Structure 1
């Protein structure tokens, strides 16, 4: 293999190892953070300052501003986050992504192999999942630096090439070319962290004089600005097919980086002097990696501080770029599920949870319609219930597929796997309640058809009131069960479980009352089968509500306070 091919494949191989290590470290960090990442969901919709901090924190864990932006786009599309809050989170994401460059700037070449070995030992020999996740993070950290070292080694011949140094000199003196180069590099690699790592390594090579950097800080900054622009393409691609606000969120990411780059390109010499002032002193090739990292951080922090007071203006700009209103989707389509979130299981499980709650509210409306069927002589109620049943059945299929894909992705921790299984059970029980509710409405429809044929079969007013009362109780149980699932309310779950005996007592009472009415001639004997069917369906609906509550209680701890909450609930 000639020298040119050796250099090209060495650079590409080093880049591949770096990206693999970065993705593996991101996965390990997410698993180590575990359900604590769920707390981020609680603060994402606060004021802009808190949103910026949340975005920075999330990106520091995910190791990718693009990943955070894709997550935010999913939340906006699902209606869980408003556009102004989403923009504030994206501003913070641009700060959080600079952590990778700061880590790379550390000179730990001599410690790479010990780090890889220690991480390997912990990852492969420890039995506890948390220890294995920590080992994976350490191992990936070493792999990441191995990729950086490989790229640095193969770049040394490039730094000595007159042709290459002349080309870099042109880029250095024409900032626009540097911006275009950085943009194209990131568009190809799809990772600003990777291209900035390449930039840091290349800038650390000595030029022809053997002392100065081959590119220098003023030559590196325009490429750095282009890297920031190029990273926005991932968000734009993720917004395809999403809601208008989701598209606006992606455009906001682009506007943020493009406007910042346009502003800073005019002040590169002064910006470079500021970065040199706040960075360590020493030979240029020894400190330029840190200088580039600091320039990356300073650019994003300054740009964020400039935009925070003008988020309202950003909203207007992106609304102008992406005009119009969203076409309201039919309720039969999933509102919260987003397959792009599979790599971020904490947030994916949250979206699945929200979709299940949405289904449950549809079922609650079905129960309400079934209650109406007890005293209304119209087939419209039956039609409404059937339509809702079809929607719930379809959504259940989508939820089941979404959670199954999460299992198949291999990104779930043991705790997350248990929670995903629990959500699968809950979704199934919600679907089964809708089946039973349809059965109740069906029996009422059949009785209406009998009456139209001249058969004088009718439930007494007392029977209708009793069945309506039992459905009302079941409706309340379902609402309590879903309050537990949606709001992590264990007291509501225990309330549902305690109502199981009450429901059984009420069912027995209804059976006895029906026998008494038969004796007195108040109910038609021909309706006993229909009455028993309705009663059985209602009993099953109540039991399924209890199943949901028990499945929720059986979930692994979300907040580490289960024992204390159990005591309160009991």
Structure 2
């Protein structure tokens, strides 16, 4: 191999790297531009299978990877956010969405104006200028898309230039002639290459680069493309290795869908090429690869939509349940860990949606534990008090799980607004954990009252219930504000918190007066004062949580720094 040959190899590898990197940057920019709209797509999945297919196609078109979409689907199924019947539609749609990349690559054959060397440098310059100098976040996102798009095309140009000197080389003609005459070998080649580089978009792009230089024939291109569709399943199969049965079934459905399509269309195309050998041996260009790739994926989806439920049943037959797989009931913290599946990190917007949902779950769990602690004060029931202590351990576990996942989400490609929400969620989780601590303090007071046989006077009980109800209302409003991003609920919480502060001052003074007049014993007095102090601090944490929501809405309500 000469120095020139080595240089060409380096150019091809460098071009492939630029192609993949450009695709990644463009996908990041598109995801940021889509923003909250990506989160709303998930809500459509429950409507019907056609909508699920459209959502799968849309997501894949944005993130430029059917493998990434399918891995996310595996994560959603494993987290219990999607049923297998819903996952089928998304997987089918992902195969259609991945054809967008092929069309982007084939743009260079649409006309001289569309050639990469003509407009890519200009777009790169405009994109870089926007990224570096634009003040608007929206313009910066557009700049990222342009930069990624340009690098993708420049990389494609590098690959094409590296191959040009060898397009007359007999090795290419012989290789593709062999693959064209042996469909199984061609499908296997497409499968292996795609499995190695973990991207059908990239492997189709390489094939199209060869086609641009006129070295690929129709027979080999068709069968290699069918193999590439099978190879893209490897990523999801590997991803599901440590997941639950349903997640494994989702990746199995992806494999079944693509294998069945490859077999059916492989037989059809083999028959057609047998009748028209001249067509099979003729060269194919990149646009024709895009056309075949799109037609195959659309027709394969239309063919298998009526059999979607049968695919689900077949996957359950292949991956069966057995008694050894039965697990004991999962704790609330374990359920949270399952829902925050790392596979969903492939899409920042969906990951954020999952985090927001689990913060709400943690909030409701903490609220219920506070109610149990107050019930323990009122009834002195030993089992109720003990359950508060047990739940507090769960709340601490939830905080650790949430914090670890939030760190991962914060390192994703997010907009400034999304980073701010993640920062506020860190604080919210910390506030909820402190509310849990105060609920535990209240349970300890209840346990001491039970052991020491201490009770409040009728007036004391009435006062305690009054401030407890206002505190619960404050926390409920704060949690609603967080769940629905509602500034009005946050303002309502502020009213409740002011009531709690006012009541705490009044009740503290009244109780001290009762103590001085001998209307209640000192032991109950100490417990009462500690109790209302804990309730007042819980209301402050509720104000913190509500304050974060208002700050996101641009209202400027600062969060308290109570402890």
Please report the TM-score for the alignment, with normalisation by the length of structure 2. Answer: 0.89
**Match of 2:559?**
none
**Match of 2:111?**
none
Structure 1 segment 336-485 matched on structure 2, within 5 A: 336-409=339-412, 411-451=413-453, 457-485=454-482
**Structure 2: gaps (5+ residues):** 109-114, 275-281, 557-563
**Match of 2:11?**
10
**Match of 1:164?**
172
Query: Partners of 2:225 and 2:553 in 1: how far apart?
Result: 44
Query: Partners of 1:471 and 1:78 in 2: how far apart?
Result: 36
Contact preservation (8 Å) 2:78, 2:341: no
| C-alpha spacing 1:271/1:486, structure 2 compared with 1 (3 Å) | farther
Query: Partners of 2:107 and 2:189 in 1: how far apart?
Result: 25
Query: Partners of 2:213 and 2:161 in 1: how far apart?
Result: 9
Shift in Å, 1:259: 1.0
| Structure 1 residue 298 corresponds to structure 2 residue 278 | no
| C-alpha spacing 1:376/1:105, structure 2 compared with 1 (3 Å) | same
Shift in Å, 1:434: 0.4
For each residue in 1:163-218, what CA deviation from the matched residue of structure 2 results, as whole angstroms up to 9, or x when unmatched? 33212201011111111000000111111000000011112223xxxxxxx32223
| C-alpha spacing 1:246/1:171, structure 2 compared with 1 (3 Å) | same
For each residue in 1:344-392, what CA deviation from the matched residue of structure 2 results, as whole angstroms up to 9, or x when unmatched? 3212211211221121122122112112202333432332111111111
Contact preservation (8 Å) 2:345, 2:351: yes
**Match of 1:281?**
none
Shift in Å, 1:258: 1.0
Report SS of the residue matched to 1:523: coil
Contact preservation (8 Å) 2:177, 2:217: no
Report SS of the residue matched to 1:239: helix
**Match of 2:135?**
127
Query: Partners of 2:508 and 2:293 in 1: how far apart?
Result: 74
Query: Partners of 1:93 and 1:220 in 2: how far apart?
Result: 21
Query: Partners of 1:315 and 1:82 in 2: how far apart?
Result: 10
Query: Partners of 2:6 and 2:443 in 1: how far apart?
Result: 73
Query: Partners of 1:348 and 1:131 in 2: how far apart?
Result: 24
| C-alpha spacing 1:191/1:272, structure 2 compared with 1 (3 Å) | farther
| C-alpha spacing 1:247/1:359, structure 2 compared with 1 (3 Å) | same
Aligned pair partner of 1:540 in 517, 537, 540: 537
Contact preservation (8 Å) 2:473, 2:496: no
For each residue in 1:19-43, what CA deviation from the matched residue of structure 2 results, as whole angstroms up to 9, or x when unmatched? 0110111111112222222221322
Query: Partners of 2:93 and 2:62 in 1: how far apart?
Result: 13
| C-alpha spacing 1:390/1:32, structure 2 compared with 1 (3 Å) | same
**Match of 2:184?**
176
**Match of 1:67?**
68
With 111-120 and 477-486 compared, the bigger mean Cα shift is at 477-486
Query: Partners of 2:272 and 2:25 in 1: how far apart?
Result: 34
Shift in Å, 1:77: 2.0
Query: Partners of 1:499 and 1:145 in 2: how far apart?
Result: 59
- CA RMSD for the aligned pairs? 2.5
Contact preservation (8 Å) 1:419, 1:556: no
Query: Partners of 2:273 and 2:448 in 1: how far apart?
Result: 81
**Match of 1:145?**
153
Query: Partners of 1:489 and 1:295 in 2: how far apart?
Result: 49
Query: Partners of 1:387 and 1:14 in 2: how far apart?
Result: 58
**Match of 1:527?**
524
**Match of 1:549?**
546
Query: Partners of 1:544 and 1:51 in 2: how far apart?
Result: 40
Query: Partners of 1:477 and 1:236 in 2: how far apart?
Result: 47
Query: Partners of 1:396 and 1:39 in 2: how far apart?
Result: 26
Shift in Å, 1:522: 4.6
**Match of 1:198?**
206
Shift in Å, 1:271: 7.4
Query: Partners of 1:556 and 1:319 in 2: how far apart?
Result: 46
Query: Partners of 1:412 and 1:74 in 2: how far apart?
Result: 20
Query: Partners of 1:73 and 1:163 in 2: how far apart?
Result: 41
Contact preservation (8 Å) 2:59, 2:94: yes
Query: Partners of 1:433 and 1:103 in 2: how far apart?
Result: 53
**Match of 2:267?**
266
Shift in Å, 1:98: 0.8
Shift in Å, 1:500: 2.0
Contact preservation (8 Å) 1:119, 1:135: yes
Q: How many residue pairs were aligned?
A: 536
Which stretches of structure 1, 4 residues or longer, exceed 4 Å deviation after superposition?
269-273, 519-522
Contact preservation (8 Å) 1:418, 1:556: no
Please report the TM-score for the alignment, with normalisation by the length of structure 1. Answer: 0.88
Query: Partners of 1:487 and 1:73 in 2: how far apart?
Result: 27
Contact preservation (8 Å) 1:65, 1:97: yes
Contact preservation (8 Å) 2:49, 2:86: yes
Contact preservation (8 Å) 1:55, 1:96: yes
For each residue in 1:496-522, what CA deviation from the matched residue of structure 2 results, as whole angstroms up to 9, or x when unmatched? 223223333443454355346546655
For each residue in 1:293-349, what CA deviation from the matched residue of structure 2 results, as whole angstroms up to 9, or x when unmatched? 111111111111122222221221122222226634333332322334445321221
Report SS of the residue matched to 2:241: coil
Contact preservation (8 Å) 1:371, 1:472: no
**Match of 1:276?**
none
Contact preservation (8 Å) 2:57, 2:98: yes
Shift in Å, 1:231: 0.8
